[in-house]
Chain A
Amino acid sequence: MSGAAQGYAAGTAAARGANAKFETWLWIAQRASAAVLALCVLVHLATIIYAVHHSLSGAAILARTRGNVGALAFYTLYVLAIAVHAPIGLRALCQEWLGWRSASLNWVIGALALALFVFGLRAGAAVFVG
């Protein structure tokens, strides 16, 4: 991981090659998760607007979501896509605006991805399993 995080000019040819592959797969993951999220966010926005429009209470929302296996599967996919997409985006921001380019950034980003996934699943369990 540390080799892949080294700067282009500073690293060896092997490190640059690892960096090239690493960044390419991050780019692919970012765009793939973006495509998944495009769908998920549209559904999420629609349900938010529906729930607010009908002034649904907590009980009313949970009555519709709890035990709903299809919805649970959907939101699990949603959480997974977020756990991939958000950290990669934040990584670019940290590199460019904070000048944070060391290997530690990748570890922190990885930890963030894991945290988002775990807490997202917990929230999903709360709403869809109960």
Chain B
Amino acid sequence: MNMLRVSVWRGGADGEYRNYEVPRQESQSVLDVVTYIQRNIDPTLSYRFACRVGMCGACAMTVNGVARWTCRTHVAKVAKDNAIQIAPLANLPVVKDLVTDMCEFFDKWARARGRFAPGATRKDAFARVASDSPERVAANAGIECIGCGVCYASCDVVSWNPDYLGPAALNRAWTLVNDVRDTAQRERLAAVAGDAGCHACHTHLSCGERCPKNIVPTASIAGLKRAVALAAWRGEL
């Protein structure tokens, strides 16, 4: 039986890597490996997952140093010398083993005004938004985000600047900046400007490189930079 050598982070922030041996299977995913360890070797291993089919983003972890969805990562693709290393997502506080505290990630989402601000009531007619209008096309490029945190974990500016809102929050803000029905545009632009906002992005493009939905937050953030600059120029910031 071909055995895979797996190194898994155990404990909190001051934990350590522990080694396990897992039988290799055909079409095995990294999530399969983690599940095997928890069910057959060490039931104290903590990890998150839900759909296990690449829809929810809950299983995101660091595999061989790179943030990935473990349910969508084939062992065959990432194993080096029949070994893999699994750790929790970077840039987030570690709760236990492979589980991180996502509060900060979502708090920043709120701080970036990543929330739709409606202006219409149920008595008003439906808003008519052409799907091929430039704003809608721009918004559509970013709305598939499911908040998995892979981009946030991959971003070095997040590591270097604790206040930085991060690619996911800013990407969401951009989709709303392009939502013609939204009524909080001025507040949102003010929220995403500054050294904790879009101006801290240095176009590393790690976010776009790693996003499992092929979203490129850098492009959204560039849009925010332009929108904010225009607002400042007009004295509207």
Asked if the two chains touch in their complex, CB atoms less than 8 Å apart, one says yes
Residues of chain A at the chain B interface (Cβ within 8 Å): 7-9, 16-17, 19-28, 92, 95-97
Interface contact A19-B195, CB-CB below 8 Å? yes
Per a CB cutoff under 8 Å, which of A24, A95, A97 touches B228? A24
Contact assessment for B197 and A20 in the assembled complex, using a CB-CB cutoff below 8 Å: yes
Cβ–Cβ < 8 Å partners of A97 in chain B: 160
Interchain CB contact under 8 A, A96 and B233: no
Which of A9, A17, A19, A27 is in CB contact (< 8 Å) with B225?
A27
Report the separation of the CA atoms of residues A19 and B200 in the bound assembly, to the nearest whole angstrom. Answer: 12
Question: Does the CB pair A26–B196 fall under 8 Å?
Answer: no
B199 interfacial by beta-carbon distance below 8 Å:
yes
Name the contact of A27 in the complex, choosing from B111, B163, B196, B229 (C-beta under 8 A).
B229
Chain B interface category by residue count: 20 to 34
Residues in chain A near residue B195, CB distance under 8 A: 8, 19, 23, 95
Residues of chain B having any CB pair with chain A under 8 Å: 111, 157, 160-163, 190, 193-197, 199, 202, 225, 228-229, 231-233, 237
Question: Across the interface, do A16 and B194 meet the contact criterion of CB distance under 8 Å?
Answer: yes
In angstroms, Cα B157 to Cα A21, docked, is 20
How far apart are the CA atoms of A92 and B232 in the complex, in Å?
20
Query: Which residues of B are found within 8 Å of A7, using beta-carbon distances?
Result: 162-163, 196
Interchain CB contact under 8 A, A8 and B160:
no
Contact A17 B190 (CB under 8 A): yes
Distance A66 CA – B228 CA, assembled complex (angstroms): 44
- Cβ-defined contact, B194 with A23, below 8 A: yes
Q: Once the chains bind, are A20 and B194 in contact (CB under 8 Å)?
A: yes
Q: How far is the CA of A115 from the CA of B195 in the complex (A)?
A: 25
B225 touches A8 (CB 8 A): no
On whether A95 and B199 interact (CB within 8 A), knowing A17-B190, A24-B193, the answer reads: no
Q: Which residues of A contact B157 (CB under 8 A)?
A: 96
Asked if A95 meets B190 with Cβ closer than 8 Å, knowing A9-B196, A21-B237, A24-B199, the reply is no
Closest B residue to A25 using CB positions: B232
Question: A28 — which chain B residues lie within 8 A by C-beta?
Answer: 229, 232-233
A contact residues around B231 at 8 Å (CB): 24
Rounded to whole angstroms, the CA-CA distance of A28 and B160 in the bound complex is 23
Closest to B225 in A: A27
Assess whether B163 is in contact with A21, with CB atoms less than 8 Å apart: no
Q: Is the CB of B232 within 8 A of A21?
A: yes
Smallest CB gap from B165: residue in A: A8
State the CA gap A9–B190 with chains docked (Å): 14
Q: Tell me whether A20 and B225 are in contact in the complex, defined as CB-CB below 8 angstroms, given that A9-B163, A95-B161 are known contacts.
A: no
Q: Across the A-B interface, give the 7 residue pairs with the lowest CB-CB distance, nearest first.
A: A8-B196, A20-B193, A96-B160, A20-B194, A8-B163, A24-B232, A19-B194
A26 touching B160 by the CB < 8 A rule? no
B96 → chain A, closest Cβ, in Å?
26
Chain A residues lying within 8 Å of B197, measured Cβ to Cβ, are 8, 20, 23
11 more A-B contacts (CB under 8 A) besides A7-B162, A24-B232, A95-B195? A8-B197, A16-B194, A17-B190, A20-B197, A20-B237, A21-B193, A23-B199, A27-B199, A27-B225, A27-B228, A28-B232
